[in-house]
Amino acid sequence: MALKKKDHLELYRQMVLIRRVEERSAELYQAGKIGGFLHLYIGQEAVSTGIVSVRQPQDRIITAYRDHGVALNVGISAKEVIAELLGKETGISKGRGGSMHMADVTKNYWGGHAIVGAHLPIAAGMALGDQYEGNDGVTICMFGDGATNIGFFHEGVNLSKVWNLPVLWLCENNQYGMGTAVGRASAVEQIHMKAEGYGIPHSRLEDGMDIMKVREAVGAALDHIRSGKGPYFLEVITYRFEGHSMGDPQRYREKDEVTKWEKNDPIGIYHRYIVDEKIATKADLDKIEQTIEAEVAEAIEFAESSPDPGFDTLFDYMYASKE
């Protein structure tokens, strides 16, 4: 799947869009316009952008609460994302879900889930649905390093092998679960090794900051699964530049460590790649950045001027059955 210039520009656009939406969201949070938790994806953009860029439309995707990145990658508009963050009726989850609960089923994006690890068995069930119906879709299940220590993880992963389900277990190892470094919470630091115990083929991508490498690794994993060989486990090393959620005092890591990783900025890496390989010029990329500034500004305006859900809608969506 060789990428053309326009494809590269689109991927670059997505990564910058995520970054800007997150930066502006942090400001909106400080201004008191966003409430609850806000888990930023800054630093991890190459992972979700790479994954979504190689999936087929029939491949489902499901992730945890750090979900704004995937939301934008699958094509939920910045307007709908920011409106959701502001709790507006025009938000992608109609103001019910907030930051942690964004989904767009029409785009085969099954959400943002806030109970750590709970969505893994759910992903297995979605893959079962496709296997059962004879569809060739793969369910891509993204989760954090911290999530691999909860029972849900082990139950879901085991089941996927027992039933040979078409699921890609994709661990985004950003090296911390809240303030707990991987080595302080996981018996093995090579998280992909956990798949060994379940007889599932696995690998680790050391450089999850490089979108080209993410695409390659995820593409190979999807091919493996689509060929009927059952589940695959891919661990991708990445780093979250900001706190776990807003207001994280970050006592658990040194500023130097963050600074070191910031030098590996996935957007910077991709920028360099595009220019060095002469795929596009710096001017092309600058133009994208400007367009995005405008798009995000417009999205915020849209969100702020959108209505709150009415009190008369409180009980809407409680049950799917109409009577």
Query: Which residues are at the interface with another protein (CB under 8 A)?
Result: 35-37, 87-88, 93, 95-98, 100-101, 114-118, 146-147, 149-152, 177-180, 184-186, 249, 251-252, 308-309, 311, 313-315, 318
Name residues contacting ligand TPP, limited to 130-149 (CB under 6 A): 144-147
By CB under 6 A, is residue 66 in contact with ligand TPP?
yes
Q: Which does 66 bind (CB under 5 to 8 A by kind): ligand TPP, Mg ion, another protein, none?
A: ligand TPP
Query: Which is closer to ligand TPP, CB of 91 or CB of 144?
Result: 144
By CB under 5 A, is residue 22 in contact with Mg ion?
no
Query: Which is closer to ligand TPP, CB of 74 or CB of 182?
Result: 182
Q: What is the 3-state secondary structure (H, E, C) of the chain?
A: CCCCHHHHHHHHHHHHHHHHHHHHHHHHHHCCCCCCCCCCCCCCHHHHHHHHHHCCCCCEEEEECCCHHHHHHCCCCHHHHHHHHCCCCCCCCCCCCCCCCCCEHHHCEEEEECCCCCHHHHHHHHHHHHHHHCCCCCEEEEEECHHHHCHHHHHHHHHHHHCCCCEEEEEEECCEECCEEHHHHCCCCCHHHHHHHHCCCEEEECCCCCHHHHHHHHHHHHHHHHHHHCCEEEEEECCCCCCCCCCCCCCCCCHHHHHHHHCCCHHHHHHHHHHHCCCCCHHHHHHHHHHHHHHHHHHHHHHHHCCCCCHHHCCCCCCCCCC
By CB under 6 A, is residue 91 in contact with ligand TPP?
no
The residue within the footprint of ligand TPP, chosen from 12, 153, 169, 176 (CB under 6 A), is 176
CB of 195 to ligand TPP, least distance (A): 16
Q: Which does 213 bind (CB under 5 to 8 A by kind): ligand TPP, another protein, Mg ion, none?
A: none
The residue within the footprint of ligand TPP, chosen from 43, 111, 112, 177 (CB under 6 A), is 177
Query: Which is closer to ligand TPP, CB of 181 or CB of 212?
Result: 181
Residues in contact with ligand TPP by the rule CB under 6 A: 66, 114-116, 144-147, 174, 176-178, 244
